Chains A and B, each alone.
Chain A
Amino acid sequence: MTNASPQSDISISDWHSLISHMENSINSTILGQEQIVRLITIATLSRGHILLEGDVGVGKTTLLKTVAETLGGNFERIEGTIDLMPHDLVYYTYIAENGKPGVSSGPVLKHGDELSIFFFNEINRARPQVHSLLLRIMAERSVHAFNQTHVFPHLQVFADRNRIEKDETFELPAAARDRFMMELHVEQPQAENQLKDLMFNPRFHDADKLVDSADKAIVPFQQLNHIAASIQDTVQASPTIKNYGYHLCRAIREPANYGISLSDVDSNTLIKGGMGPRGMSYLARGARVNAWLNEREAVIPEDFHTIIKQIAKHRIFLNPVYDYDRDAIIDSLLDSVLNTIQSP
């Protein structure tokens, strides 16, 4: 991943100001999503993919477009539909002006290795075959087509799923969900003045113009891999914090072993799986990035707290008998874990 990235010629302090500039630019374009923007920043600097979830019309697409604009690079978007097939991502066929059939690169291949953000809208409307292709793109950042392997070293996948409608949808398989670093729940802003602004300020009425008004290519996307690796190398994790992070992950998987009990739930049989090594790794990477964003040289427990729900929630698999109240049980489990595990 990093071998395709040019060495960064930007100093660490300059990177801080660039990231701060990027966040400010997004926040001035998208109102009331400061926390989501910070989490997207953490995922971007951890080189993790993001699954977005939320009500309709809360600005998910506008947010992602703005992020793509500020990061620079190329942005591609595809709508998940029931008849979408894997090859639709790779190529499309058409009748050319000369009347002959033509084949062109699809959204994934169109920009080659310059592809920066790939947005898959309503991912759960696509078939499992499409999910399967996406799995490879996310895990290996490459795809094999036209007899060659295409590599996308700077690719970050954002997907959106609509959990309100269930008809003609395909739930993401566990493996696909696990490949997303975070699942972010986007809600509409709560502040009255922000909602009034969104309602009456003409600036927010045209989404394309709004996105266009954001500062562009603030962060050199080609150097993101390098700065991401550099953050992981420079931010320290003491033995105490490693121990804490490890026990957090173990307690999520084995709550009964840590004396965690939830009301009306048998802790021994609650968890079926999830929060494996990939999730643990994402947690550590995200914690380091959060420490770096807060200009700390080492990770502290609060760095885990900032991201643990977004990292752990979608990769925990409950015993099916508890799925009816999944969100509340997992929230309660994570709260109990954070209240129980001590550090130091």
Chain B
Amino acid sequence: MYDDLKPADFEATALMAVEACAKAGTTAERAQLLAEAGLLGVLAPDDCGGLGLSMRFGVPIASAAGKGLLAYPLIETMVLARALAGVAPDMATALCEGSVIASIAWAGFGDDGVVGRAPLAHEAAQVLVFLADGRAVLVATDDQVSVDAAPEFDLDVPEATLRLSAPPQGIVLSAALVATLKAEAQFLRTAVVLGSVSACLGLASDYAQDRVQFGKLLSANQALRHRMSRDAVVAETLRSGLARALTAPREGAGMARDALWCWAAQAGPSVAESAIQVLGGMGFTWDVPLHRHLRRMRALAHQGAARERLDEIADAVLGSTDNEWYGDIADAR
């Protein structure tokens, strides 16, 4: 049905929608703008009002959201709409239509009564809460839940903490659906980081080519040129890493995705820090949006549990090898 669509087609649409969202007054208005552009349901099947497209189409949308600091739980909506389609199609449809705002509490388990890192949960009607057994429950933010706005580190998609007064009740997602949802979110987070990295590099290079110090442009100084070149390598590495991870590499799709995410979670914020340095005193001000990108990427790193994923990669590295050239060395641990 959508065979003629290309991922790049969504980039321009997404950038325009994100720009429009920046001028919208409320989260509900942003939901409508994003839904009208067809962005919320891009991954969800068409019988739920989605487009049924692959992650390759989700990435440019998430990247545009990062670039424009979209104030909406976009990643959560996109992956939830797909996950819920076979379980609760009406809810999936409502998410695609933007009539229900939902979030995901990325930290903690509902079994413990407190979960956190739920972007914009204080404005969400539904929040997905993970359980210790691998499943998850979509709970309504009504009487059984109190939502505390966490200290607002991420200014654009602030996180909230949820306190559950009873074991979570609601639509249940199986452990398999949850695993897929988490994997899809890793791709989208990486794409948001790529968008932020591009924006930060753009702000730095524009400023450096305008600001004159010691009688010459900042961009005439090799130290700053090389700093920005290194930041450009980060952007290109994220781009090529996404391209590879999305084409189901022959060797280890999981490793390709997780390694990319772990690296993005470290390298992305470093580009924002670098851009702040290029802008000097201006970079340190509230009005220049570099700190918002930095906050956004740092929050995402924790939502995506980058450090924990890196520990998992460490376990894999320290494990036995499938490289037959080294398979015959005796294991004495």
Q: Do A and B bind each other?
A: no
